[in-house]
Homo-oligomer: A and B are copies of this chain.
């Protein structure tokens, strides 16, 4: 059973496919198509359940009404939620979303961009990896619409939607300090990404301003490879060796999940033995006992803003648009893991 095409309708009514196309695109009036024939076309199209072939449309129009979301790993709950929110917002504009995971690998990111551009995606929402500057600049130079999300590449002026990483961290750490946890450790990933830098800076400034000395040794930057083991090592070092810390701040959800697991393995109790706060929130943190205090990013809003900016730029592709930078506040959710 072949799908109905413009030609099928045209032939059945004995008119040209131009006419059918014009009518179905609502351009009957401005092209002086008669009311009578217009109605016939509309009626038959409905009867035959005509749906235009989007591939043919894309080829002719040079756009596909598809955007691509490139994140580190779509199975990470943070990005999964982002994926869902992007999907929903894009749907409002009739856009579909292709998801791709870069695995924090800049070359994979570059390859994905190439492949997806050949597939005529209209634009990208990207959570950039380290060392991806080159590829992002190429997009910019070629005037391909894109929005960076979660992380940005500061010197380069691009559309971006991020949260206030510095202040979010600053205030959370300050909260910890005021609770009496002067020795608060900080575990982060060694990525050099903007968001991670800002979070680290927020921590450092909070410690500095509170007059804590020697906090440099409370910081652990963990590499992506052997991630869980490395986080475990960091936790063990901070809690069991020289520093004798009693509080930890986790710079991301992934760090937090791995760290909490190793705290459990060490048979230490939260918050009695060690108080914790994590950047990012997740279901797991809510059901945990005790529930984990978290800095929740407004994922839905970040995603919908990113989609709006992107689609706006796509719709005025030729027009030179100003780049939009959005910084959203986070929500500090105090739960029992730190009191």
Contact = CB atoms under 8 A, between A and B. Distances in A.
Interface of A: 1, 3, 51-56, 58-59, 64, 66, 73-77, 80-81, 83-85, 87-88, 96-101, 114-120, 141-142, 257, 260-261, 264, 282-284, 286-289, 291
Nearest to A288: B288
Nearest to A82: B75
B83 A114 contact: no
Contacts of A98: 66, 96-99
Contact of A264 (B74, B264, B291): B291
Contacts of A76: 80
A75 B287 CA distance: 17
Given A118-B54, A257-B283, A264-B287, A77 B74 contact: no
B75 A81 contact: yes
Task: Give the number of times this chain occurs in the complex, counting copies.
Answer: 2
Contacts of A116: 96
A1 B99 CA distance: 26
A164 to B, nearest CB: 24
B286 A261 contact: yes
Contacts of A96: 98, 100, 115-116, 119
A210 to B, nearest CB: 30
Contacts of A88: 101
A149 to B, nearest CB: 15
Given A96-B116, A114-B51, A257-B283, A75 B64 contact: no
A55 B64 contact: yes
Given A77-B283, A97-B99, 9 more contacts: A54-B118, A54-B120, A74-B74, A75-B81, A77-B77, A96-B115, A96-B119, A264-B289, A282-B284
Contacts of A87: 74, 99-101
Contact of A53 (B52, B120, B142): B120
Contacts of A117: 3, 51
Given A53-B120, A59-B56, A74 B64 contact: no
Closest 9 CB pairs of A and B: A284-B284, A80-B80, A75-B84, A261-B287, A54-B119, A75-B81, A51-B118, A55-B120, A260-B287
A55 B52 contact: no
A142 B74 contact: no
B75 A118 contact: no
Contacts of A257: 283-284, 287
A84 B101 contact: yes
